[in-house]
Structure 1
Amino acid sequence: MDRLFLAIGCVSAVVAVVLGAFGAHGLRARLVPDMLSTFEIGVRYQMYHALALLAVGILLPRSPSPALAVAGWLFVAGTVVFSGSLYVLAVTGQRWLGAVTPLGGAAFIAGWLVLAWAVSTRP
């Protein structure tokens, strides 16, 4: 499972860089500043949590724990729901997606709490 989280983290980081470049060069002239900022927040949080996934992938073989895996999957879910909803909201203007975004944020928060618990209780 550690390699899976490392791979997902790497791919997620690549996608964040690509989307960041797309936002800076392809969307800047097409989106109002508010929506461009929304898109950039999605990119930023995706990159933060790509790095968190790399940390989970590095920690898992050293200290195998179901809690570490749970934290990793929460980071994945948070990225898909939080960042994904912000990307779609920014590009389409579908405001109802703003109601979905906090669910991804809750997954991020839960992931960090589970990760903190996992590393503080390891032998």
Structure 2
Amino acid sequence: MHRLWLFLGAIAGLGAVALSAWAAHGAPARLDARALGALDRGITMQGWHALALVGVALWADRQGGWLPNLAGAGFALGLLLFCGGVYASALGGVSLGPLAPVGGSLLMGGWAMLAASALRR
């Protein structure tokens, strides 16, 4: 599964860089200050968790077991839900209800699983 986490981390990183470029050059003409701030926070979370997925890929390959893979799943699904909710609100003015908070909880759970995997032999 470590290759899946590496792939998803690389795709998320690519997306974060592309969105960051658009946010710097194209978005200011189209979005208000609140939406730009939300977009920036979404991109930041996407970038950090792209790196987290790459780290999980390396750790899962070395350590093995279900905890690193559970962390990867939490990061991947959490990224989709959290960033998807933030982007829907910032770019489309659409509220997707509890999607972002659920995604944020999954991201935190991913970090907890990664921490637990570091303590397990």
Q: How many residues are matched?
A: 121
For structure 1, the 5+ residue unaligned runs are none
In structure 2, what residue type is equivalent to 1:51? L
**Offset at residue 98 of structure 1 (A):** 5.2
Query: Which residue does the alignment assign to 1:109?
Result: 108
> TM-score when scaled to structure 2?
0.95
RMSD between aligned residues:
1.0
Taking only the aligned residue pairs, the percentage that are identical comes to 36
Aligned with 1:97: secondary structure? coil
**Offset at residue 4 of structure 1 (A):** 1.4
Are the aligned partners of 1:86 and 1:98 in contact in 2 as well (CA < 8 Å)? no
1:21 partnered with 2:25: no
CA distance in 1, matches of 2:96, 2:29: 23
Query: Which residue does the alignment assign to 1:69?
Result: 69
**Offset at residue 68 of structure 1 (A):** 0.5
Query: Which residue does the alignment assign to 1:92?
Result: 92
> TM-score when scaled to structure 1?
0.94
Query: Which residue does the alignment assign to 1:81?
Result: 81
CA distance in 2, matches of 1:45, 1:10: 14
**Offset at residue 99 of structure 1 (A):** 3.1
